[in-house]
Structure 1
Amino acid sequence: MSGPIVRNYKGGSIVYFEKDKAEDIFVLQKGRVVLTFTNINGVELKEDVKIGEFFGVKSAIGRYPREETAQVIGTATVLVFKVPEFEKFVGDKTHLIIKMLKVFSSQLRQVHRQVREILGQGEAKNPAFELMNVAEVFYKNGNCEHAAYAFNQYINHYPDGMYIDRAKQLQDLASKKTPFPLTIPELVYKPEPGANAGKLQEMLKTMAVTKDQSPSTVDPNSIQSLFDKASTLFNALKYEEAGQIYKTLSARTDSMTQEEEQMVENSLFFYGKVQYKTKDLTNAIGTFSNFIKKYPKGQLQKENLYHLALATEANGDKDKAIQFYQKVVSIPPLDDSLSEDAKKKIKGGKS
């Protein structure tokens, strides 16, 4: 076993793309790497990797495709481990293992809370129904991989359950990435005799609980909870309610963690999107412009500039909008969907 290797990346380089086959595990030694991913609400988020932090661990160890895109901002130097090398490296380093477990547990806890918000439920009606409901929410939102996995869990845990035929049918369709069938009737709750009422709840608690915190102790007024709620409302097209929360969050100045600071920053951008979606174009332009001034190096700066261009164009100033689109095209990465859309807008505006 040769050990990890050192790689140097130029600015704008992609360490790996979402859905890439996972083989390597990385440690950031110098520079800046940003992870871009979509949460369960369908909202794109960005997260900075800290110096000395591992990234790409879960997908490499779990042998499944990457869940995020890792991009270099500026330049960066990383250590690259193969899975056996990584396992040997951390094998006797208990503190590293505990740290990673805390991170994974926190992520699972967030997913659990977001699922509950999307479903609009308090406690589960019964575990079999809830598992089917979660699976179908994933499927209807286009997340076929998670849906197929959840349906498979239902099949394994409830082979004689009343939803077994439905689960098998949808699991097969989701595995083939077939869109959710519009002809299938809505899932209806029915008490399931003999179901182990504690099974799913215990499984969720095992996933979500850390030594000192469980979902029941999460503050509903915390930045994380409010941001998740606003994201859920935004994706449900409840723009007015989402906008009120985003506006409140974007004005927060109290002491907060780095992750919370990122949510406050993102909230200003999403508040602008709410205004754009509701055709409040003048205020949308003002909010997007304020984002540029307040967060000149913000992780959502490119997306913000693109939406500023959209709002400006919709407001009737096509020449100024083209100037903004040209700026979008100049910001790395130069071959992403935003750049391509901006190029089309420039070409259409000049013709």
Structure 2
Amino acid sequence: MAGPIIRTYKGGSIIYFEKDRSEDIYVLRQGRVVLTYTAIDTGYEVKEDVRLGEFFGVKSALGKYPREETAQVVGGATVLVFKLNDFEVFVSEKTHLILKMMKVFSSQLRQVHKKLREILGQAEARNPAFELMNVAEVFYKNNNFEHAAYAFGKYLDHYPTGPYAGRATELQDLSRKGTPYPINMPPLVYEAASTSRMTQENLQNIMKPAAEKTNLGAGTDNTITSLYNRAHTFLNVGKFEEAAAIFKDLMVRNDFKYDSEKKLVDNALFQMGVCFLKLNNLETASNTFSAYIKKHPSGESVKESLFHLAEIAEQQGDRQRAGMLFGKVALLPPERDSLSQKARQKAKELSA
């Protein structure tokens, strides 16, 4: 490990601005650094001092998203600067730091949720099952497989029949194998307490063939989120026809109460395309992905739809169209994700 470097800043210096993109992580060694950001509840500017020995810039670096605050030096300061890879190695050898950071992030996340609920007038607190699952997925998305698997295991220990049990089991298995976070995994959606409890019978019912579930009984969880997760589980275990049948039913649902449910209904069309692609029904898959792009031009799965259309064109021998589509995927934001990298490589191969 190369280790951190030491930087000395003069008073008034800006270490980084809000919305900057960087994977550097800092520790205040000496002096004073003030973080300035806008409070989500009031819209007013907030200033917060970094304590000596405290890390800052961690969340945006690990999440690879723009800085959420401006870090400015007051009266001079000395900081340690870690590159992301060096930081991950450093922290992985110090379990107590990981636990401390988890507590801090969890506390911050609860405060954000609390303020958002106050703004939206929602008094009900999100349950700890969702919070634990969310932490586990953050670890996984940052390729911290060991801690992700541990957190998924804790979820299953405490909530073996919880609303995310199937998802936790699937992701724990993948993280143990060191498999990157699945690009087609649906977003983690919060379910209110009234609809979030799932019995062991319902959990086992997820894995039954679709033919056995044609007539959904009164005890079966028939919410949009649960059906979407059930279909996605079928998709991931190779039961593509069963998954497609559920996604098809979801496409016509209009009883959603939340934006998150509407997104799942909208995304069901894309997931149907994935099912047809897995079944090697290339023509239908191509038509489905094209229909998704036309119907949801700003949808969250447009980039993946274009990528799959490029794959299909390549399999059908249309190298020119495939290269053009891969090139288009590579230019769609975010341009540094794994899908863009794969698309650039494929476009390069096809143009050779």
Q: TM-score, normalised by structure 2?
A: 0.49
Give the TM-score taking structure 1 as reference length.
0.49
